[in-house]
Amino acid sequence: MRIPFENLRSAFESVLLSLNFSNEKAAHCATIFAQNSRDGVYTHGLNRFPTFVSMVKDGLIKPDAEPTKEGEFGAIEQWNGNLGPGILNAGFCMDRAIALANEHGIGCVAVKNTNHWMRAGTYGWQAAEAGLIGICFTNTIANLPPWGGIDPRLGNNPLVIAVPRAGGHIVLDMAISQYSVGKLNQYKSNNEELPLPGGYNNEGELSTNAADILQSQRLLPVGFWKGSGLSLVLDLLSTILSQGNSTAKITQSGKESGVSQVFICIKPQNNSFTQQAIEDIISFTKTSRPEHEGGSISYPGENTLRTREKSLRKGVLVDERIWKTVSEL
């Protein structure tokens, strides 16, 4: 079913207010959760909201915590998220990175002791809206085996790279696992094969069977050994720059709380060369003949805008069962 964006947003807001979020924080978090569903990232919008509420009730997310500065040097800063809501800490840190980049050309903010930021892309869109290139990444609990191994020891550590563009920002938002656990569960419950290999089965064969992959826990990193290395270095950067918890520490704690994140902004020259180059790059890419007749090639973020427009026009698509649960919270 589809419901108006404002209904979704205000439902989230009411629940958050009942959980002792301040008016301002409830409004901010509710807006981001609703926007995530609006943009088609249902896994980190409505569908994730009940988990968020549980974590607040369990004391893993502290509604009233404010980030505090731990250090600074030139164009870099370290913050402590003090286990506040990930959405608020991440929005705050990207704002700091934007301010640093506006002052120094580039800025880097790392935060420790924060929580899941929901949709990674949110903060890429935030930087792009401010006219800046935004790069951010987070570590997570271990959910991927390193290349050559069978036990999960790496996070799927989402990485975002966003480029501002007048006709619609370009926002790459990619986790290091080929498919998320949420996606695999969806294919499993629909009894559908994955379109492409998503991991290994217990026999060590590449598989398109979501149930088999979930059972083996051997999700595939993007690009096999390459994604395995990329996940490791993103965890190293998050941990070192924030002086916070690594995937190892988060995993050993048993709960995905107190994660580490990095936000980098760069100020591009907003001139006609830049604008033309972006359009040339996109147009050139789209001249590749489509694999299937009638197919088309999109840039990262292009489909998001389409989904957003439809959600605002026709209402945001919600899972009726989860929507009922949240409305009754």
Q: Which residues from 165-224 bind its own copies, rule CB under 8 A? A: 170, 172, 174, 178, 196-197, 204, 206, 221-224
> Which residue lies nearer to its own copies by CB, 86 or 221?
221
Query: Which among 72, 177, 64, 61 has a CA at the least distance from the CA of 117?
Result: 61
Which of 161, 210, 213, 316 is close enough to bind its own copies by CB under 8 A?
Answer: 161
Interaction pattern, residues 70-109, with its own copies; x per rule: CB under 8 A: -x-xxxx--------------------------xxxxxx-
Bridge partner list, 108? 76, 264
> Which residue lies nearer to its own copies by CB, 73 or 166?
73
Residues in Cβ contact with 165 at an 8 Å cutoff, skipping those fewer than 6 apart: 128, 275, 278
What part of residues 129-148 is at the interface with its own copies (CB under 8 A)?
133, 145-148
What part of residues 226-245 is at the interface with its own copies (CB under 8 A)?
226-227, 229-230, 232-237, 239-241, 243
Interaction pattern, residues 269-298, with its own copies; x per rule: CB under 8 A: x---xx--xx-xx-xxxxxxxxxx--xxxx
Catalytic residues: 44
> Which residue lies nearer to its own copies by CB, 15 or 174?
174
- At 72, give phi and psi (nearest 5°): -160, 150
- Count CB neighbours of 299 within 10 A: 18
Distance in angstroms (rounded) separating the CA atoms of residues 230 and 124 = 19
Bridge partner list, 226? none
Cβ at position 26, least distance to its own copies in Å: 34
What part of residues 108-127 is at the interface with its own copies (CB under 8 A)?
108
Q: Record the tokens describing residue 92, joined without a space.
A: 């705050």
> Which residue lies nearer to its own copies by CB, 53 or 230?
230
How many CA atoms, within 13 angstroms, populate the side-chain half-sphere of residue 50?
A: 13
Task: Write the DSSP assignment of 3-22 as a string of letters.
Answer: E-HHHHHHHHHHHHHHTT--
